C-alpha cells in the first residue's frame, strides 16, 4: 500500500502548521510574511483562506505546495514534514501530491492544447496509458459541466471555463492536496459560482484536502470553513452550517430551501493567545489590558477602567470600588510615612 492511500489516523489533521515562520530576504531587507501561524486542516476538508493583500496567504500556499521553504516552525502534510525534506523529495512531493490552480488562466493551461489535452497531459507525463488518460480527462471535464467544450482551446473558453479546466488539470493525477490561489480573482460573480461548484463537485467528492485563497465575500457559502489571516497569523475563523428549512428539502446545499448559518470564532494560538477584533475592542473600550472574569459558561473579557475615566457607556467607574482603592492607597501611604518617621526617630 502506498503512503498516500494509507488510512488516516483518526483525529489527526491532514495539514498541520505550528508556529510557522517565513522571512523573505531581498538583499539586506527582511520581510516577515508568516509570523507564528498555527493551522490545522482535516483530511478532505474544503477550506477558504481570506485576508488583506500582503497578509501572507500566497506565502502559506507556496510553503504547503513545496514551492517555498519555511524559515522556522513546523509544517506537515499527510506524513511529510516539509521542513525536513530534501530538495529532491520536495520536488517529488510537489509533482505527485499537489495540484495547483492559479489566478491567471495562462499559468494553468497550455494555450495551444485543447481542454481535453490539457487535462490528459499530466497523466501522460506520469506514465498513464493513453486510453486511461483520455477517459479520466473526459470524466473530469464532464463533472464540471464542460463535456461540450472538450475540443476548445484556451482563447475559446470564458474565464470561468478556463478555471474549471484548470481544476480538472490539478486533479488529473489524484493529488492529496489542491491549492488554489485566488482562482476567482479575475471572474465575475456568476463565473465564480461555477468555479466554486467545480471545487465542491470534484475535490469534495474525491476527498481531496483543498485550500482556496480568495477576496470574495461569498466564498464562505461554498466551503466548509474559512480562516482569516492577518499579519502572517491566523486571526479568526467562520464555520458554515447548512440547515434544511423543510424536511423534504433537496440534498443540494445551495438550494433556497437550505439556510446557511455562519458561526464566527476567534482562534487561539499554541501559547493560548487570542486576538480580539478591533471593532469589538473599540466598542468596549478595551486597550492594552483587559480583565478576565470566569463566569458559569465561559470567560468574560472586560475593559479595565481607570479612576475618573468614563467607561464606554459614559458612566464613571464604580464609585464604591474607587473608594476601596483610595482607602487602600492611603493605607499604604500612611504605612510608608510611618516607616519613614520610625527611621528618623532611630537616628
Q: Give the footprint of Mg ion on this chain (CB under 5 A).
A: 58
The rounded distance, in Å, linking the Cα atoms of 242 and 252 is 10
- Burial per residue of 153-182, b for 16 or more beta-carbon CB atoms within 10 angstroms, e otherwise: ebeebebbbbbbbbbbbbbbbebbbbbbbb
> CB-wise, 94 or 200, nearer to ligand ADP?
94
The rounded distance, in Å, linking the Cα atoms of 118 and 111 is 9
* Residue 25 CB, nearest approach to ligand ADP (Å): 7
Could you tell me if 76 and 43 are in contact, meaning their C-beta atoms sit under 8 angstroms apart?
Answer: no
Could you tell me if 149 and 157 are in contact, meaning their C-beta atoms sit under 8 angstroms apart?
Answer: yes
- Cell 493513453 -> residue: 130
* Residue 181 CB, nearest approach to Mg ion (Å): 6
The rounded distance, in Å, linking the Cα atoms of 181 and 208 is 16
Partner that binds at residue 207, options ligand ADP, Mg ion, none, CB closer than 5 to 8 Å by kind? none
The rounded distance, in Å, linking the Cα atoms of 31 and 45 is 31
> CB-wise, 31 or 280, nearer to ligand ADP?
31
> CB-wise, 103 or 114, nearer to ligand ADP?
103
Closest residue by Cα to residue 262 from 295, 219, 229, 231: 219
Partner that binds at residue 321, options Mg ion, ligand ADP, none, CB closer than 5 to 8 Å by kind? none
Q: Which grid cell is 62? A: 507556496
Phi, psi of 193 (to 5 degrees): -60, -45
* Residue 185 CB, nearest approach to Mg ion (Å): 9
> CB-wise, 37 or 141, nearer to ligand ADP?
37
Residues ≥6 apart with Cβ < 8 Å to 158:
191
Partner that binds at residue 56, options ligand ADP, Mg ion, none, CB closer than 5 to 8 Å by kind? ligand ADP
Residues in touch with ligand ADP (CB under 6 A): 24, 26, 31, 33, 51, 53-59
> CB-wise, 138 or 230, nearer to ligand ADP?
230
* Residue 61 CB, nearest approach to Mg ion (Å): 8
* Residue 57 CB, nearest approach to Mg ion (Å): 5
Q: Give the DSSP H or E segment for 76.
A: strand 72-77
* Residue 271 CB, nearest approach to ligand ADP (Å): 23
* Residue 21 CB, nearest approach to Mg ion (Å): 18
> CB-wise, 10 or 26, nearer to ligand ADP?
26
Partner that binds at residue 140, options Mg ion, ligand ADP, none, CB closer than 5 to 8 Å by kind? none
Partner that binds at residue 24, options Mg ion, ligand ADP, none, CB closer than 5 to 8 Å by kind? ligand ADP
Q: Which residue is nearest to Mg ion (CB)?
A: 58
* Residue 103 CB, nearest approach to ligand ADP (Å): 10
Partner that binds at residue 19, options ligand ADP, Mg ion, none, CB closer than 5 to 8 Å by kind? none
> CB-wise, 108 or 173, nearer to Mg ion?
108
Partner that binds at residue 54, options Mg ion, ligand ADP, none, CB closer than 5 to 8 Å by kind? ligand ADP
Residues ≥6 apart with Cβ < 8 Å to 131:
none
Residues ≥6 apart with Cβ < 8 Å to 269:
19, 36, 38, 233, 234
Closest residue by Cα to residue 155 from 103, 105, 101, 102: 105
Partner that binds at residue 33, options ligand ADP, Mg ion, none, CB closer than 5 to 8 Å by kind? ligand ADP
DSSP labels, 277-301 = PHHHHHHTT--S-EEEEEETTEEEE
> CB-wise, 122 or 183, nearer to Mg ion?
183
Amino acid at each position: 500500500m502506498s503512503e498516500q492511500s494509507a488510512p488516516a489516523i483518526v483525529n489527526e489533521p491532514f495539514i498541520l502548521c505550528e508556529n510557522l515562520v517565513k522571512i523573505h530576504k531581498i538583499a539586506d531587507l527582511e520581510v516577515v510574511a508568516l509570523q507564528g501561524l498555527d493551522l490545522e486542516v482535516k483530511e478532505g476538508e474544503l477550506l477558504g483562506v481570506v485576508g488583506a493583500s500582503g497578509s501572507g496567504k500566497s506565502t502559506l500556499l507556496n510553503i504547503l505546495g513545496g514551492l517555498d521553504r519555511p524559515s522556522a516552525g513546523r509544517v506537515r502534510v499527510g506524513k511529510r514534514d516539509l521542513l525536513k525534506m530534501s530538495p529532491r523529495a520536495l520536488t517529488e512531493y510537489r509533482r505527485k501530491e499537489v495540484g495547483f490552480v492559479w489566478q491567471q488562466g495562462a499559468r494553468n493551461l497550455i494555450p495551444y492544447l485543447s481542454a481535453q489535452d490539457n487535462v490528459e497531459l499530466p497523466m501522460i507525463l506520469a506514465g498513464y496509458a493513453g486510453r486511461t488518460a483520455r477517459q479520466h480527462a473526459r470524466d473530469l471535464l464532464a463533472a464540471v459541466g464542460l463535456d461540450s467544450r472538450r475540443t476548445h482551446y484556451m482563447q475559446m473558453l470564458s474565464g470561468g471555463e478556463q478555471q474549471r479546466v484548470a481544476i480538472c488539470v490539478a486533479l488529473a493525477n489524484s493529488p492529496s492536496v489542491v491549492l488554489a490561489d485566488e482562482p476567482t480573482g479575475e471572474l465575475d460573480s456568476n463565473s465564480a459560482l461555477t468555479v466554486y461548484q467545480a471545487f465542491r463537485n470534484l475535490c469534495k467528492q474525491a476527498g481531496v484536502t483543498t485550500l482556496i485563497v480568495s477576496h470574495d465575500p461569498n466564498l464562505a457559502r461554498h466551503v466548509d470553513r474559512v480562516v482569516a489571516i492577518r499579519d502572517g497569523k491566523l486571526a479568526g475563523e467562520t464555520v458554515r452550517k447548512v440547515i434544511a428549512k423543510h424536511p423534504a428539502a433537496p440534498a443540494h446545499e445551495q438550494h433556497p430551501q437550505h439556510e446557511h448559518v455562519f458561526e464566527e470564532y476567534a482562534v487561539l494560538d499554541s501559547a493560548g493567545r487570542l486576538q480580539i477584533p478591533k471593532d469589538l475592542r473599540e466598542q468596549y473600550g478595551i486597550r492594552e489590558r483587559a480583565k478576565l472574569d470566569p463566569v458559569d459558561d465561559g470567560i468574560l473579557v472586560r475593559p479595565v477602567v481607570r479612576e475618573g475615566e468614563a467607561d464606554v457607556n459614559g458612566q464613571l467607574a464604580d464609585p464604591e470600588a474607587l473608594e476601596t482603592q483610595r482607602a487602600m492607597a492611603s493605607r499604604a501611604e500612611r504605612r510608608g510615612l510611618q516607616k519613614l518617621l520610625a527611621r528618623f526617630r532611630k537616628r
